[in-house]
Structure 1
């Protein structure tokens, strides 16, 4: 199984700065930010499943465009997996016929171009031997992270957007086959109060998470705000703990 980083920034700016989306093999997206825009139409047609961490625009922005572009090419609906609260938000505020058509009712509800699947914390979807499990997260809106586990028994965890979350740390520590942890750090330390208010992480907060991990994955940091990326990177380099954080990059590939 391969996980390719399509976008991993907290903002946009040209081809190199694009928001969160991960491609699992060729048929699964984890979040659907502007990073998904690098895929051409044949690649978009191959997407059968989208897993959303939460309903903020930087994580869902391209979902309406994808289903509008490829729906008529497909013989089966695109399945969108998310927590019940997230699905309620996007159905009420995006696919509501005002912002965008409700593709779960096109051409009709018996034969939709898109369908929704509720995935609560601790539940998983098994897709051809690949298991994707919803993990706890703590953000400004209802949110989850995901464990992505391959058929060969290796896992990657994506934290989603979160502040320090005791339940997520506990869940991560229970994953014995964890190879990599992709975890957000959106703000520099000087914006610690803003990170707390927005329920994101800054480097000091990330370090407190890493210090509590008993597993030993590679650590990759995502969701840096572009204006503060250099400052955050310098602060991350000062960490003296056991697990050394690296900056996640566009087009990085994880093989599990």
Structure 2
């Protein structure tokens, strides 16, 4: 499994996470913030599966552009996976002929823009050789994280979430867990905002992972751009060798 972050920026050296999305093995994306800006069109057309965590704009906003970028009048199209609440938001407020055309109406069933897949928490599905299990997170709208399991190891993707009670139980249940991508949005002094927006601070981050095995890599994601340096410093000050801030030019391989 090869994982890299898609963090759009006009400055290729920027460390800022304006949006959060990842690409797995060049063919699977989780969230779409950086997806429509992924290199050439052929690289975008290689993405066969898109999983959405929730309906907030920094996670779904790239989906209409991505689908428009890669469309060809063909039966072949990407599958898009999301929870029922996220799909309702997309259909009511995005693909509604006002914010963006209703792609199902335009293309019909012969040459679709995408194939709609509804996923449920704790119900595993098979995607490109992986067992993928959606897990419920703690956020303002219904939000899912995803566990990817393979023969070489497992990965947990859990961003846009406040600390939640099931975290330890979920982590302990994942076989051969190698890496966790976990929310760390606001600096400690802004815990009040993290609590209201259901995100996480470095202090909460530390308490949440205290029972995670030290050989599991923990990648902090969703650092708010305006506080990136401060949050990074607070994470580094934890002194935990298995914790690192997500980097756009790194491939995380397990």
1:103, 1:67 → 2: CA distance?
9
Secondary structure class of the residue paired with 1:101: coil
Matches within 5 A, 1:220-239: 220-239=219-238
- Cα shift readout 1:108-160 (whole Å, capped 9, x = no counterpart): 1454221211111112321231122101210111101111222x241111102
The structural deviation recorded for 1:36 is 4.5
The structural deviation recorded for 1:216 is 4.2
The structural deviation recorded for 1:239 is 1.7
Secondary structure class of the residue paired with 2:122: coil
Q: 1:220 to 1:236 in 2, by over 3 A?
A: same
Which residue of 2 is the match for residue 254 of structure 1?
A: 252
Which residue of 2 is the match for residue 100 of structure 1?
A: 100
The root-mean-square deviation of aligned C-alpha atoms, in Å, is 2.0
Deviates more, 1:21-30 or 1:106-115: 106-115
1:215, 1:96 → 2: CA distance?
47
Which residue of 1 is the match for residue 144 of structure 2?
A: 144
Specify every segment of 5 or more residues in structure 1 that has no aligned partner in the other structure, as ranges: none
1:43, 1:224 → 2: CA distance?
26
Please state if 1:49 is matched with 2:52.
Answer: no
Please state if 1:126 is matched with 2:126.
Answer: yes
2:214, 2:95 → 1: CA distance?
40
Contact 1:136 1:168 in 2 (8 A): no
- Cα shift readout 1:205-239 (whole Å, capped 9, x = no counterpart): 11110114357411110111122111111111222
Specify every segment of 5 or more residues in structure 2 that has no aligned partner in the other structure, as ranges: none
Aligned length: 251
Contact 2:215 2:242 in 1 (8 A): no
The structural deviation recorded for 1:83 is 1.0
Contact 2:159 2:221 in 1 (8 A): no
Which residue of 1 is the match for residue 116 of structure 2?
A: 116
1:73, 1:66 → 2: CA distance?
15
Contact 2:35 2:66 in 1 (8 A): no
Deviates more, 1:168-177 or 1:197-206: 168-177
Q: 1:13 to 1:57 in 2, by over 3 A?
A: farther
Q: 1:143 to 1:111 in 2, by over 3 A?
A: same
Secondary structure class of the residue paired with 1:236: helix
Which residue of 2 is the match for residue 6 of structure 1?
A: 6
Secondary structure class of the residue paired with 1:106: helix
